[in-house]
Structure 1
């Protein structure tokens, strides 16, 4: 049996890391390709050669994604790699130039008359892209003219995206002090975050105090990055006449009605999860949980699962769902697509990024042997599988929204988490794994909701001017109290500073897609349980449509449900509610 490596292989993508000459050559080729496209675009537009423009755009889309993914991996594996930061700036600049050309292309789309469009869209080489092209036409009509949109993109390199990159630089240097046996060591943010699942409350509490203090000390700088990033975004929205949620809803291809219905249903069932948290507090000998107790294990056992064991467990249960998911996951482990080593100098969190030209993915996380780590690994493999089944589609049809991206990942996570509970070797282990599932529901229904509430309030206040560090803390704590129904003893007011998602420019309001994906995947998972391994092909068909439908259309076609109605969301959340009931029954004697 193979022994799986804890570190990924980037050299097979571009040899030499951030000093890679191969990558430098690739970037020059990309720049040349964009330059040639720029030179020919006016002529192709004048000649009304839509198919030829699309033929030129799609390879450049893949190359941009390939270059961006490589740089993201370099930055994640070593936050002190200054050369990777330079490369990030370079790719951002090239991307802005390419986006300007795409804006010009979009302006051409809206200049085509309705009659001419009806003819063009049915041409054989274009018809398969009908959804994405009509979507581009619709969105272009909502934007400013070409000169203004081009200027926004150009200024965004050193403005909008510059603030996000500064955030990365600041947080990349942050370490969290941690005392062990009388000695103080400085942990990376990712290493410190893993301490919140330590069975010793003193460890969790002291880590949290140092965590909170560290983010507070850096809050003056981070409040600047967040304020300026949001200010730039709001200025653009004002010019376009957009409401704050218009862009995130656009990006996620979903209706406001769907989003509102989802949150309303969650709110109706939050009391169940409060009951769980109160029970957990009682078991831990507390009146109420604090923020740093949310991920605390119920058992004082410090047993962990090796990376090899975790990988084999995932493979075994992916195989039970379907051979194709298991085959892709096995390849990911064997070909070293995964960076999981627990070491200093790494970025916090986890992600999966794809290399479309190589038809491979890379997964980033920090693995320390917890059940939560195994879930994270399965989650990221779900993302990789989503891309895997779309590799043969046109690049434009592979651009799926974040909410359905999170559907694929949480579906994979659910397979593994459910299997872990069912195959537990003891009651203690079963309870721990069941509680891990419930923890995840709390995170998706309450933590994510607090982020959504915070951002809505923050953007409302930011319209009137800069929001102080103190006020950001207040907004964050108030949002957490509302989302958690005042059920915690201590909250995390500097969460706005420590959570990367608030500072990402590519996806504004990068919060509700997680909750959508979680509940949507629960609905899909319920179907999978009914149909067994035969469901994999239907699941793949759904994933392949994620880049060419709205989420409402996707649900109607593949699940025959209406996402603007409560029924679907209630059926989905009841699976999580059942986990709570099972937990309460198992702990009724405690």
Structure 2
């Protein structure tokens, strides 16, 4: 199952004073999945999943080509229905295990539960592994005829067609089974080591006790330059103290991915991700080229302006997200944040606000920061028979309101797509960011329209530009960093210094001459979890942001019916290719002008900032 994480600058934990000002923050109620780790229903479902998987294998293995010639309960459509039901059950189990674990990754008992359940579900899944592999061995003509013959099969056409795109890369059954079973001791184990190492790290900030990662990162947004500098020094020291571990993890996972990709016959190092995202390599290449070409017009230009606003010749790397001198510092309470987002959503369409309101009313959100809680933010879809859950680390800053809007956008998307069922609700990563970034844009525009004070308007515009730079420019730089690391790893193991130099190279290129990359910044790649958990995930954020910028431009000039088309797009889940989803809006991601249109919106906001600067 997939946890949709926010890859903006990390969401940060609360200090005690901020917690008092935010008001009571909600914690999620996982009882809609299971009442607790000792719930008999959880134990029963684990046993039931194992039994159903074994029975399914005994019933269908070796018969699917024959089933494709039949209809009804003997047909391939019926087999897929049975497969989907087991996937739904296993998804419920692992959704609970993951959410329970991420609420406190420092708790050994939660870690053990997560590991034990992952092992049992992986074992059960081994009995289902034959199913997609055998479907892909059915002749194309026979499959086409089966689709015409069996209406129960035809409803799964999008899933089958997506599955068959993987045909050239699937291996012999026993090798696939080996890959599946060893995933617990390969990528999964290294990911867990990374998570638990980062969770237990503490960083000296120069004041008070050493801090976990999130509060330490939070200090980089403090209005005091010395506080930011001290926090950066503490972060650098912390990363350096564990850099050998992080380097080993990175080397191991890069090699693990290379082995898998080589055995499967992928060419480019990111081809597996492109296939999973159902996006063509040339589309991603066009996005990358467009963003890199725009570096001078976007990040280079903006950071030059920001250095001047802060009275500096150059920004230190720890000053990138510093507040402007005119930025209001008061804490935004939870109730105000909730109303802000719901008002923005409702202004677009009441249906959107109604769905989002369920997350507040039904305890589907875990907002406070706690010792051991997973960093950042995510919305996890769980399974269609339940509902999504949102994790935040809310601290009352304006950016936290944007993160709330972002994750609720994911949540709305996941609720609407749930009707497609367990096999077809999941949206490729490139489209998974559509609703989240659109929700952010609605909230930002709503707040901006109500802002009368020129200084505060400037600060809000600057904050939005920084978020967009972090989402587009920074994520493409991350993607280029990953490409360097994975390409070089094919030639041999990398040292910490080599990885650090790759990091400095892409950061210098993307941030521009107005940002000073100070000593020690070469280890700051170590805390970006996406490099470890989801190689090449990051370009999806730039894809989604540029897509939404283009989509929002259509919305601003649209006639009636935009909202209905938008909801249809979200409700499609994973049943349509990006070209089919964008066609009703007159957009085409394969057209280079598409990316230019999305980037021009960021450039337009920087123009607006420059005009405001000249007027002041």
- 1:288-317 alpha-carbon deviations (Å, 9 max, x no partner): 122221211103642121111011100111
Tell me the distance in 1 between the aligned counterparts of 2:611 and 2:171: 58
Is the aligned partner of 1:246 residue 2:265? Answer: no
> How does 1:113-512 map onto structure 2 within 5 Å?
113-122=139-148, 123-180=150-207, 184-243=208-267, 244-273=269-298, 274-299=300-325, 301-490=328-517, 492-504=521-533, 507-512=534-539
Tell me the distance in 2 between the aligned counterparts of 1:130 and 1:534: 28
Residue 366 of structure 1 deviates from its aligned partner by 0.8
> The residue matched to 1:313 in structure 2 has which SS?
helix
**Equivalent pair of 2:472/2:541 in contact (CA under 8 Å):** no
Partner of 1:10: 30
Residue 52 of structure 1 deviates from its aligned partner by 2.2
**Equivalent pair of 1:254/1:552 in contact (CA under 8 Å):** no
Cα pair distance change 1:303/1:357, threshold 3 Å: same
> The residue matched to 2:379 in structure 1 has which SS?
strand
Tell me the distance in 1 between the aligned counterparts of 2:63 and 2:233: 60
**Equivalent pair of 2:61/2:131 in contact (CA under 8 Å):** no
Residue 77 of structure 1 deviates from its aligned partner by 1.6
Answer 1 or 2: higher relative contact order, Cα 8 Å, separation at least 6.
Answer: 2
Residue 99 of structure 1 deviates from its aligned partner by 4.8
Q: Which has the higher mean CA deviation after the structures are superposed, 137-146 or 329-338?
A: 137-146
The runs of 5 or more residues in structure 2 that have no matched partner are 1-22, 68-74
Tell me the distance in 2 between the aligned counterparts of 1:539 and 1:4: 34
**Equivalent pair of 1:96/1:153 in contact (CA under 8 Å):** yes
**Equivalent pair of 1:66/1:354 in contact (CA under 8 Å):** no
Cα pair distance change 1:111/1:169, threshold 3 Å: same
**Equivalent pair of 2:482/2:536 in contact (CA under 8 Å):** yes
**Equivalent pair of 1:62/1:395 in contact (CA under 8 Å):** yes
Aligned mate of 1:580, from 606, 609, 615? 606
**Equivalent pair of 1:175/1:186 in contact (CA under 8 Å):** yes
Cα pair distance change 1:50/1:487, threshold 3 Å: farther
- 1:410-448 alpha-carbon deviations (Å, 9 max, x no partner): 111111112122211422221111111100121123211
> The residue matched to 1:480 in structure 2 has which SS?
helix
> The residue matched to 1:398 in structure 2 has which SS?
coil
> The residue matched to 1:356 in structure 2 has which SS?
coil
Aligned mate of 2:50, from 13, 21, 31? 31
Cα pair distance change 1:302/1:62, threshold 3 Å: same
> The residue matched to 2:370 in structure 1 has which SS?
coil
**Equivalent pair of 1:143/1:240 in contact (CA under 8 Å):** yes
Q: Which has the higher mean CA deviation after the structures are superposed, 44-53 or 412-421?
A: 44-53
Is the aligned partner of 1:69 residue 2:95? Answer: yes
**Equivalent pair of 2:420/2:572 in contact (CA under 8 Å):** no
Residue 216 of structure 1 deviates from its aligned partner by 1.2
Runs of 4+ in 1 over 6 A off after TM superposition: none
Residue 46 of structure 1 deviates from its aligned partner by 6.5
**Equivalent pair of 1:5/1:333 in contact (CA under 8 Å):** no
Residue 251 of structure 1 deviates from its aligned partner by 0.9
Residue 399 of structure 1 deviates from its aligned partner by 2.0
Tell me the distance in 2 between the aligned counterparts of 1:190 and 1:20: 32
Tell me the distance in 2 between the aligned counterparts of 1:11 and 1:109: 36
Residue 327 of structure 1 deviates from its aligned partner by 0.4
Residue 516 of structure 1 deviates from its aligned partner by 0.3
> The residue matched to 2:419 in structure 1 has which SS?
coil
Tell me the distance in 1 between the aligned counterparts of 2:244 and 2:346: 49
Is the aligned partner of 1:559 residue 2:585? Answer: yes
Tell me the distance in 2 between the aligned counterparts of 1:19 and 1:193: 36
> The residue matched to 1:363 in structure 2 has which SS?
strand
**Equivalent pair of 1:290/1:490 in contact (CA under 8 Å):** yes
**Equivalent pair of 1:6/1:307 in contact (CA under 8 Å):** no
Tell me the distance in 1 between the aligned counterparts of 2:498 and 2:231: 24
> The residue matched to 1:121 in structure 2 has which SS?
helix
**Equivalent pair of 2:433/2:544 in contact (CA under 8 Å):** yes
Tell me the distance in 1 between the aligned counterparts of 2:168 and 2:84: 22
**Equivalent pair of 1:317/1:416 in contact (CA under 8 Å):** yes
Residue 283 of structure 1 deviates from its aligned partner by 0.7
Tell me the distance in 2 between the aligned counterparts of 1:63 and 1:266: 42
